[in-house]
Chains A and B, each alone.
Chain A
Amino acid sequence: MRPLTEEETKTLFEKLAKYIGSNIKHLIDRPDETYCFRLHRDRVYYVSESIMRKAVSIGRDQLGSLGVCFGKMTKTGKFRLHITALDYLAQYAKHKMWVKPNGEMPFLYGNHVVKAHLGRVTEDTPEHQGVIILNMSDVPLGFGVTARSTTDSRKLQPTDIVAFHQADIGEYLREEDTLF
């Protein structure tokens, strides 16, 4: 476990900013407790300072996980978000997309969101923008990247993709062993 380097923090923030923009500051600067980002075995964890201080006393090999895993640093130095970060992303998301009940299961099995399943979307969402995907009763299901802007997606066919799948809560089952 170690703090992120400047470079790593930058790549992490760049990825997070695609979903929550400047709301990252609410993650760093919290009124309740001080939270920080820590890297452990290539995974980035968002953890409160008190837990982090306790985890320091656990050996590197013995420490499995701490706090909330936000994702992992790939070997090429990029950052990949995990579905475990959904709680925080959904809370601060700038752009959201709601899927109809008949589109919930296809998305949860790892498919892209098609126009036919699109229930609602935040106004003025640009193209290739990170969005949080929710069902109609506002339960976050995962996140993705828009294929078209809101205005462009009006003209699409029902079978055309409106958002590319990035992560969904089905991964809690599918990728149980590598997720945390």
Chain B
Amino acid sequence: MDVSSALEAHQNKFKSIEVEKLVPVEFDLNLLAAFDTNAIDEKKLSSKKENYLKELNRDNAQLLFNQIFKLPVESTDAGLLAKLPESSHILPREKALPKAKPMTRWEKFAQIKGIQKKKKERMVIDEATGEYSPRWGYGGGKKDKTKDWLLEVPSNVDPMEDQYAKLREEKKERVDKNKKRQKRNEEEASATSKGQDPRQVKKKQLQDAIAVTKRSTASLGRFDKHIEGEPKMKGMKRQFAPNITDSKVEKQASMDILNKVVGKNGEVLNVQKAVRQSKRARK
């Protein structure tokens, strides 16, 4: 019995599983997604929109199913399950890339000098006890000598000096110095992140501080000594002597200034003249 004609008739009832595309469709099977980058037929879309979209969807879904059926399968209690591969699709970042942190002074210096950071182990062996202890932090580091019950007094120092106090002071100095540098790095970083010159920012701060201190005297800084290159104060009125005063007082004031300018004795020594006169006197 020839069943081929019957089979053909049956097959013609369904659409083919073969779909042809100009540009091959991309798949991400992990997401069960297909990405069709082929151009849409504008004519069909405007005339038979619904039909065209249905058709397009069927074709692409067919392609996706074809891919899924190619996957390796495993049988479980729930039936045959396809093993999905790793996702190949890369989603773009939601947020912008983080900005590089401004370099600290040490990092800048190390970069210029070509000093590389060395990776060190967290735990180090303590040679005295033969045990591992953390390099720094709790239970580690150079043992705090201030906790020792006995300290050696070096032969070249004052024997009555308190060695504990000295160590404490040294440590405090180190910590303070580091804190100061940390603060400076933070200030410089905040200035550079705003696109300003850190030196100019610091200068501005100092000038503002001067302005505040000047204004904080009872006379609003009128009688303060002027520093050279001092910024001009805003809102501070200059006060001039009245036009008509006691002429004697004014004369005396100018004389005082004159004495400062040319010196009390009048003239500065004319060296050449003095040399010549002494030569003449010797002859």
Contact present for A17 and B254 (CB under 8 Å):
no
Contact present for B243 and A21 (CB under 8 Å):
no
A109 in the interface, Cβ–Cβ < 8 Å? Answer: no
How long is the Cα–Cα vector from A37 to B241 in the complex, in angstroms? 12
Q: How distant is B53 from chain A, measured CB to nearest CB, in Å?
A: 79
Interface size on B, residues (CB 8 A): 24
Binds B, one of A8-16, A136-144, A156-164, A168-176: A8-16
Contact present for A56 and B244 (CB under 8 Å):
yes
B210 in the interface, Cβ–Cβ < 8 Å? Answer: no
Q: How distant is B240 from chain A, measured CB to nearest CB, in Å?
A: 5
How long is the Cα–Cα vector from A124 to B271 in the complex, in angstroms? 9
Interface size on A, residues (CB 8 A): 28
Contact present for A9 and B250 (CB under 8 Å):
no
A108 in the interface, Cβ–Cβ < 8 Å? Answer: no
Q: How distant is B1 from chain A, measured CB to nearest CB, in Å?
A: 119
Q: How distant is A32 from chain B, measured CB to nearest CB, in Å?
A: 13
Contact present for A37 and B254 (CB under 8 Å):
yes
A119 in the interface, Cβ–Cβ < 8 Å? Answer: no
- Residue on B nearest A124 in the bound complex, by CB: B273
B247 in the interface, Cβ–Cβ < 8 Å? Answer: yes
A126-B250 in contact given A2-B243, A24-B258, A24-B262 (Cβ < 8 Å) = no
Which residues in B have their C-beta under 8 angstroms from that of A3? 240-243, 245, 250
Which residues in B have their C-beta under 8 angstroms from that of A6? 253, 257
Contact present for A21 and B262 (CB under 8 Å):
yes
B260 in the interface, Cβ–Cβ < 8 Å? Answer: yes
Q: How distant is A44 from chain B, measured CB to nearest CB, in Å?
A: 12
A42 in the interface, Cβ–Cβ < 8 Å? Answer: no
B270 in the interface, Cβ–Cβ < 8 Å? Answer: yes
B130 in the interface, Cβ–Cβ < 8 Å? Answer: no
Which residues in A have their C-beta under 8 angstroms from that of B240? 2-3, 5
Contact present for A13 and B258 (CB under 8 Å):
yes
How long is the Cα–Cα vector from A21 to B272 in the complex, in angstroms? 17
How long is the Cα–Cα vector from A25 to B258 in the complex, in angstroms? 8
B195 in the interface, Cβ–Cβ < 8 Å? Answer: no
B96 in the interface, Cβ–Cβ < 8 Å? Answer: no
A34-B251 in contact given A13-B257, A21-B262 (Cβ < 8 Å) = yes
A-B contact pairs, 27 of them (CB 8 A): A2-B243, A3-B242, A3-B250, A5-B241, A6-B253, A9-B253, A9-B254, A13-B254, A13-B257, A17-B261, A17-B262, A21-B266, A24-B261, A24-B262, A28-B254, A28-B255, A28-B258, A29-B255, A34-B251, A37-B254, A38-B243, A49-B247, A56-B244, A124-B273, A124-B276, A126-B272, A149-B272
Given A3-B245, A28-B255, A38-B243, 15 new contacts (CB under 8 A): A2-B240, A17-B261, A22-B262, A22-B267, A24-B261, A25-B258, A28-B251, A28-B254, A34-B251, A36-B250, A52-B244, A53-B244, A124-B270, A124-B272, A124-B273
